[in-house]
Amino acid sequence: MSLATSYNVSNSFSKFNIKRVRGYLICLVCNTPKMIQRGLNGVSFYGCSDYVNKGDCKSVLREINGSMKMVCLHCENTPIMEKVESGRGGAYACKNCNRKFYFIDLVKQNERKKDLEKEKKELLNKTEKQKIKRLERFILAGVKANIKENSFFLGCENYPKCKWTASMDSQDLKCPKCNRLMKRKKNFKNNEFFTATSLTLNVMEFCLYIKSEKKETNV
Distance of CA 203 to the CA centre of its chain: 37
The amino acid sitting at 35 is M
* pLDDT tops 60 at residue 44: yes
* pLDDT tops 60 at residue 113: yes
* pLDDT tops 50 at residue 174: yes
Least confident of 6-20, 28-42, 85-99, 164-178: 6-20
105 DSSP 8-state letter: -
Read off the pLDDT band of 154 (50, 70, 90): low
Strand partners, 82: 93
Mean pLDDT of 140-146: 50
Q: Which helix (H) or strand (E) holds 166?
A: strand 165-167
Mean pLDDT of 140-163: 57
The amino acid sitting at 22 is R
* pLDDT tops 50 at residue 203: no
Read off the pLDDT band of 167 (50, 70, 90): low
Q: For residue range 78-98, list pLDDT tens digits in order.
A: 667 777 776 556 777 777 777
Mean pLDDT over each residue of the chain, to the nearest integer: 59
**Does residue 160 have a cis bond before it (omega within 30 degrees)?**
yes
Q: For the chain, give the percent of residues with pLDDT over 90.
A: 0
Q: What is the pTM of this model?
A: 0.31
Mean pLDDT of 120-133: 68
pLDDT in the model for residue 22: 62
Contact 70, 81 (CB under 8 A): yes
Helix (H, G, I), strand (E, B) or coil at 143: strand
pLDDT in the model for residue 121: 79
